[in-house]
Amino acid sequence: MKQFFRLTEVARNVLAAVLLALFGGGLVATSLLADETKTAAGDTNVVAAAVSAPAVKKQLTGAELYSINCNRCHPERYPTERTAAQWKTIMLHMQIRANIPVKQSKLILQYLQENSGR
């Protein structure tokens, strides 16, 4: 029965380490979990391997950035509601007003213009 609980604890630590690594815990999670799991007999290699795997940063799409940034202050508009030229004017204004980084605003504008429908 003790082996079952030890396995369950190690499995929980591995899962926690993976989730922390995916959501930005990174090195903090590595050091905390590595110290915590050293007490689990024989299974520290599995945990260390799972924790030390590099987190892959996902590049957000223009649609995702549009949803994240524009929903902060007002309801989202459909890209088809405006022309490509109108979206360019709006994005120039909103980039400054909403403090959106240039790289992100270019991706958002590209998404809006490609889906503008006019």
Residue 70 domain boundaries: 62-114
Say if residue 20 is in the same domain as residue 48: yes
Average pLDDT over residues 31-52: 50
Is 67 in the same domain as 35?
no
Give the total number of structural domains in the chain. Answer: 2
Q: What is the spatial distance between Cα 115 and Cα 118, in angstroms, rounded to a whole number?
A: 9
Residue 46, domain member (yes or no): yes
Does the pLDDT at position 33 exceed 50? no
- The confidence score (pLDDT) of residue 117 equals 77
Mean pLDDT confidence for 34-42: 50
Instruction: Extract long-range pairs of 11-15: CB within 8 Å, 24+ residues apart.
Output: 13/37, 13/40, 13/47, 14/46, 14/47, 14/50, 14/51
57 is a domain residue:
no
Q: Does one domain contain both 46 and 70?
A: no
Please give the residue that has the higher pLDDT: either 64 or 6: 64
Assess if residue 11 is contained within a domain. yes
pLDDT tier at 58 (50, 70, 90 boundaries)?
confident
Question: Does residue 27 have a pLDDT over 70?
Answer: no
Based on the fold, state whether residues 8 and 42 are members of the same structural domain: yes
